[in-house]
Amino acid sequence: MMGGSSTGGWSRLGDVRSLEQKAKAALNEGKRNVFISFATEDMAEVNLLRGQAKNDNNDIEFNDHSVREPYDSEQAEYIKRKIAERINRSSITVVFISKDTAQSKWVKWEVEKSLELGKKVVAVHSGKQFGAAEPKWVSEHKIKTVPWSKLSDELK
């Protein structure tokens, strides 16, 4: 005699396939998976801008790995591996620059890892003009810098 549970397994498998198809369809619709890099000090401002961007343009999905660990901590190698995986899955890296960015070894590493993985990198800042000195690696790697309000143009 057949129990109801055997068909239950098949319907769940169907659900998984359906989800996979929906996920692929969403990817094909051009949903941009953006890795965002920023200094911990800028988290509040980045979250505000991220929320604003989601309202303006719902085909952007931000992905970050906020790191509070010191760059040279025991966890650093594990964290770098995890961040590299996220960067690899993204289509572009956006680095938020502020007066605190140049001091962040994590941001510099994330940008260099993104470039090493062949990702486009765009630097953004709040306001119309960037009011501080850009980190050296922005010009060294010829990274384009735009105001946050113009970011969606760079993601197309």
- The CATH number covering residue 133 comes to 3.40.50.10140
Q: Which of 75-84, 117-126, 147-156 has the highest average model confidence (pLDDT)?
A: 117-126
Helical (H) or strand (E) element with 76 = helix 76-89
| Whether residue 14 is found in the same domain as residue 26 | yes
Number of domains in the chain: 2
| Whether residue 70 is found in the same domain as residue 7 | no
| Whether residue 40 is found in the same domain as residue 26 | no
| Whether residue 73 is found in the same domain as residue 60 | yes
How many other C-beta atoms can be found within 10 angstroms of the C-beta atom of residue 53? Answer: 21
Per-residue pLDDT reduced to its tens digit, 64-116: 656 666 666 778 888 888 889 889 988 899 999 999 999 999 999 999 999 99
Under a CB-based contact definition with an 8 Å cutoff, are residues 137 and 111 in contact? yes
Beta strands at 144-147 and 120-125: parallel, antiparallel or unpaired: parallel
| Whether residue 5 is found in the same domain as residue 47 | no
> In which domain, by residue range, is 26 found?
1-30
Under a CB-based contact definition with an 8 Å cutoff, are residues 94 and 151 in contact? yes
| Whether residue 70 is found in the same domain as residue 11 | no
> Helix or strand or coil: residue 147?
strand
Question: Using CA atoms, how far apart are residues 76 and 67, in angstroms rounded to an integer?
Answer: 10
| Whole-number pLDDT of residue 28 | 45
| Whether residue 22 is found in the same domain as residue 66 | no
Per-residue pLDDT reduced to its tens digit, 6-50: 455 555 555 666 666 665 555 545 557 888 898 888 988 888 877
| Whether residue 75 is found in the same domain as residue 103 | yes
> Which of residues 52 and 94 earns the better pLDDT score?
94
pTM of the model: 0.72
> Which of residues 105 and 5 earns the better pLDDT score?
105
Question: Using CA atoms, how far apart are residues 103 and 138, in angstroms rounded to an integer?
Answer: 13
